[in-house]
Amino acid sequence: MQRGLQLSWRSVTPSEAIEAHVREEVARLERFYGRITGCAVTLDAPSRHHRHGAEMYRVRIELSVPGGTLVVARDRARNHAHADLYLAVRNAFREAKRQLQDHVRKIDARVKAHAEPPRGVVTVLMPDHGFLRTPDGRQVYFHERSVLRSAFPRLHVGDTVRFAEEAGEEGPQASTVELLRARAGAAAEA
């Protein structure tokens, strides 16, 4: 972390044990994501709960990360766990980790980018199968049942297709073939 932890106490008596607990939680976040640039934590006991007389703690965490600041503000007067400062801190840091995970997914673009299936050109057609040529010059077998949307009867030599290749018993074969566009002049012949 470029800037050290900033810990503020408001209406809460400072405690070495609580500070150690906060530092431990910050260290966990840093182990998860080492690019945190700053962390400010405010511990606050704003008032006593009117029914039970217990103090309800507020925990506010501001994490500075590349691309923005993540803010967690735990202020749940109805949650009796927040009458315990340790639990309030733990719950706030759990929420901070959830937000940090979401942030990391966004900036790292962890959404899977699917590779574009290879393209080929139909070179041979028989009554129930055919062959296509890949951009690197290989011949790949395909069966009429592999052609999507029952388009086998509409295929012509020279048509561009997209295909998924797999190993067949006698060499490479296409498990699926999708007609992309007909060869030039095929529409004029039809």
Q: Write out pLDDT tens, residues 55-89.
A: 678 899 999 988 789 999 855 555 555 578 899 99
Q: Residue 182 has what pLDDT?
A: 64
Cα–Cα distances in Å, from 170 out to 58, 68, 114, 139, 141? Answer: 69, 55, 28, 12, 9
DSSP letter assigned to residue 101: H
Q: Report which of 161, 166, 154, 189 is spatially closest to residue 177, judged by C-alpha positions.
A: 161
Domain 5-107: CATH architecture, name and number where available: 2-Layer Sandwich (3.30)
CB 46 within 8 A of CB 58: yes
Pick the CATH number of 119-184 from 2.160.10.10, 1.20.1640.10, 2.40.50.140, 3.40.50.920: 2.40.50.140
pLDDT of 115? 74
Residues of the chain scoring pLDDT < 50: 187-188, 190
Domain with CATH 3.30.160.100 in the chain: 5-107
Q: What is the pLDDT of residue 187?
A: 47
pTM here is 0.54
Per-position DSSP letters for 44-55, written without gaps between them: EEEEE-TTT--E
Location of each CATH 2.40.50.140 domain in the chain: 119-184
Give pLDDT, residue 99: 92
Which pair of structure tokens corresponds to residue 24? 């431990």
* Residue (of 95, 22, 34, 87) closest to 65 by Cα position: 34
